[in-house]
């Protein structure tokens, strides 16, 4: 019986960090860095370590580690505006949430998705963050008037925003170059010989929309061409309505920069209905490079936003901050994808 119990204990003994290091042929510290999601390990060695982890069935002893580090290994992914208002038709919203969740889980973190689309929801998130149940927060907040970034900053918990928060709030964030991307699209239209370039801007209370509109204006500033602007809410229907308004305001326009691909698709539909040929009569460029952009007729020129890289950058910034590093931010470059609409 004693021998049987001993064999049973041997059979269920948990693989150790040292066993993973031996299987992978690397140091214990390298395994630790991979397990903790640090970005100081090459992709080659990270793959070797993760393969060893899977082969041995290694599971970090988070309970024991928490007693030593006073960490919970729990991260909240907070969506701080109403999906029905800002993201219902946005395929990039689910993509960035999935990506952030995946990278956090790969780093051994438990992820809690929390919605803060009301005053009650924001208070609930603030209290939970201040309660000690979390190591940090990845915050998706698009509205410049959102009080949650400032409220979370007051709790002292590490926070990284998916996108630049309001200027008045000191915060770490991972964003894309919205202004630069918009400017590159407008400069492309100018290079195509377009001279009456309108814009369909996004909601004025969102930081990204403000930055994209700024990029549009900066690209036109030194050309002597006037701004012609309509506003949408990032949906297909609002893009159609804004395009109708622009055609009424300036029937002679020959190009449109649209601050979101769904709005651009709506604008394309209206141009077709009005008998305007794209790009012969009116060239059009969007922003985001959603999957549908390559399937429109004609295919849509657009600015590619690296959302997966943005999510990865946000997670790395947060993990570094949790480990005692300074709060810092990252702005990722965009890429102009030229197709048939220009």
Among 1.10.10.1200, 2.40.70.10, 1.10.10.10, 1.10.260.40, what is the CATH number of 2-60?
A: 1.10.260.40
Q: Quick one: DSSP state of residue 168?
A: T
Look at residue 70 and tell me whether its pLDDT is greater than 70: no
pLDDT higher than 90, residue 37:
no
Query: Which phi and psi angles does 75 have, rounded to 5°?
Result: -125, 135
To the nearest whole number, what is the mean pLDDT of the chain? 86
Taking domain 178-304, whether its CATH number is 3.40.50.300 is answered by: no
Give the whole-angstrom CA distance, residue 201 versus residue 182: 11
Residues 6+ apart with CB under 8 A from 124: 114, 116
Is the pLDDT higher at 85 or at 78?
78
**What is the per-residue pLDDT across 154-203, written as a single tens digit (0 to 9) for each?**
888 999 999 988 766 667 999 999 999 999 999 999 999 999 999 999 99
| CA–CA separation, 322 and 69 (whole Å) | 11
Give the end-to-end CA distance of the chain in Å, rounded to a whole number: 80
- The reply to whether 70-175+307-333 shares the fold of 2-60 is no
Domain 70-175+307-333, what fold?
A: Rossmann fold (3.40.50)
Which residues 6+ apart lie within 8 Å of 309 measured at CB?
A: 332
Task: Write the pLDDT tens digit of every residue in 108-118.
Answer: 898 998 988 88
How large is the angle between the packed helices 91-106 and 307-322, nearest 10 degrees? 40
Tokens of 40: 């100081």
d(Cα 104, Cα 75) in Å, to the nearest integer? 8
The percent of residues above 90 in pLDDT, for the chain, comes to 52
- Select the more confidently predicted residue: 335 or 115: 335
CB 186 within 8 A of CB 201: no
Residue located via tokens 């102009």: 336
Domain boundaries, the chain: 2-60, 70-175+307-333, 178-304
Please give the average per-residue pLDDT across 29-56, as a whole number. 80
Residue 16 pLDDT level (bands cut at 50, 70, 90)? confident
What lies within 8 Å, CB to CB, of 166 at 6+ separation is: 144, 145, 146, 149, 207
Rounded CA-CA distance 91/141 in Å is 17
Q: Are the CB atoms for 300 and 265 separated by under 8 Å?
A: yes
pLDDT tier, 39 (very low <50, low <70, confident <90, very high otherwise): low
CA distances from 140 to 93, 172, 173, 226 (A): 9, 12, 10, 34
Q: What is the pLDDT of residue 69?
A: 46
81: three-class secondary structure by DSSP: coil
The three-class DSSP label of residue 248 is: helix
Quick check: 200 and 231 in contact, CB under 8 A? Answer: yes
Q: Using an 8 Å Cβ cutoff, are 339 and 294 in contact?
A: yes
Cβ(190)–Cβ(197) below 8 Å: yes
């Amino acid at each position: 019986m004693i021998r049987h119990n001993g064999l049973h204990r041997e059979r269920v003994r948990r693989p150790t960090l040292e066993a993973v290091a031996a299987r992978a042929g690397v140091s214990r510290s390298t395994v630790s860095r991979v397990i903790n999601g640090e970005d100081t390990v090459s992709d080659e060695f990270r793959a070797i370590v993760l393969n060893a982890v899977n082969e041995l069935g290694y599971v970090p002893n988070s309970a024991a580690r928490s007693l030593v580090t006073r960490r919970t290994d729990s991260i909240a992914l907070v969506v701080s505006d109403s999906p029905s208002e800002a993201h219902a038709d946005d395929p990039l919203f689910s993509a960035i949430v999935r990506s952030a969740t995946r990278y956090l889980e790969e780093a051994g973190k438990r992820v809690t998705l929390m919605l803060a689309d009301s005053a009650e929801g924001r208070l609930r998130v603030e209290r939970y963050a201040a309660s000690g149940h979390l190591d940090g927060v990845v915050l998706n907040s698009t509205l410049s008037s959102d009080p949650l970034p400032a409220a979370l900053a007051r709790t002292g918990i590490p926070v990284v925003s998916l996108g630049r928060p309001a200027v008045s709030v000191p915060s770490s964030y991972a964003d894309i170059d919205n202004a630069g991307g918009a400017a590159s699209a407008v400069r492309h239209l100018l290079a195509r010989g377009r001279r009456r370039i309108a814009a369909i801007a996004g909601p004025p209370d969102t930081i990204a929309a403000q930055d994209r509109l700024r990029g549009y204006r900066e690209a036109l500033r030194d050309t002597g061409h006037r701004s012609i602007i309509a506003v949408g809410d990032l949906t297909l229907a609002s893009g159609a309505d804004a395009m109708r308004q622009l055609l009424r305001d300036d029937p002679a326009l020959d190009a449109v920069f649209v601050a979101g691909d769904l709005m651009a698709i709506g604008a394309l539909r209206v141009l077709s209905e009005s008998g305007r040929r794209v790009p012969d009569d009116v060239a059009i460029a969007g922003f985001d490079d959603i999957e549908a952009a390559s399937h429109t007729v004609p295919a849509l020129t657009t600015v590619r936003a690296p959302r997966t890289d943005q999510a990865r950058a946000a997670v790395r910034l947060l993990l570094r901050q949790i480990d005692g590093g300074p709060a810092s931010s990252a702005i990722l470059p965009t890429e102009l994808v030229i197709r048939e609409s220009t």
